[in-house]
Amino acid sequence: MRTFVTRLRSATWLGWQLDSNWTDPFLFLVYTVLRPLATGLILAGIFWAVGSRARTPEAFAGFWLANAFHNFVNQALVGMGYAVVEEREEYETLKFVVVSPVGMFTYLAGRAVVKLAMAVIGVVMLLAIGAWLLHLRWPATGAHLGPLALTLALGVAATVSSGFLVAGLGLSMPRAAINVNEGIMVGLYLLCGVIFPIDLLPRALQNVSLALPFTYWYEALRRFTLGHGASARLGAWSDGTLLAALAASTLAFVLLGRYGYLALERRARRLGRLDQTTLF
């Protein structure tokens, strides 16, 4: 465990250098703050441009909250996939990372820590902007703090585990890695109830949505923060049932991320794709 922590700390430090050293600290901080601000204002404009039925305070607050926490998916989950692309295509150092004592799995975990930290900044900024500029309220009560903390922990675990799976796909499919990353980003945005309830999806896609932990994550975040969810289908579930579904799907993705990543890395090694560049 001591060795793992040492290697994880080294990987995290290197990940921070890669993500932040392209400019001076002040400009990096401004970029980190302005990016979620611009995203939030764009989302507000999109939401208020739709029909009057959707322009309710409750729907808008749930919409804003889910978009804020979707930063974890954009930054950490998809960011881990892009870390593979960066190392292989931009820096051409992926093979050296793989054979280093740190190893690729621990290196990706370190990169995920940095991505999560940046995602936290984005989430805090969007929630603060919503409260300050748009007068949104997050009326979580003391009774909801325990379930909310559990929801956050399970969501982060699902995000990182899924990120390992995305990184494994990037290792084994060099030419399609960029498309895979972008497709997963958009797919999760549409399927998991971020911008509209899953009830509006076709029935077959609703079943796909219910297989993903992020669907339950966003619904639980809304329920324990705002006091209501967005989906009529999930609204009939009790809090315990919703948390159980989130926990079960998260556990499945933790196992899938761990063993799926290792299987995909072995496949990439066997096919000689670890250092295969595509001149992207």
- In a 13 Å sphere around the CA of 243, the CA atoms on its Cβ side amount to 14
Inform me whether the pLDDT recorded for 51 exceeds 60.
Answer: no
What is the residue-averaged pLDDT of the chain? Answer: 89
How do residues 236-258 score in pLDDT, each as one tens digit? 999 999 999 999 999 999 999 99
How do residues 133-179 score in pLDDT, each as one tens digit? 778 888 866 668 899 999 999 999 999 999 999 999 999 988 888 88
What pLDDT sits at residue 53?
Answer: 56
Distance (Å) of CA 11 to CA 6, 14, 15, 112, 151: 9, 5, 6, 10, 27
Maximum Cα–Cα distance across the chain: 58
CA atoms of 58 and 230, how far apart (whole Å): 9
Hey, how many other C-beta atoms are within 10 angstroms of the C-beta on 208?
15
Instruction: Give every CB contact of residue 152 below 8 A, 6+ residues apart in sequence.
Output: 221
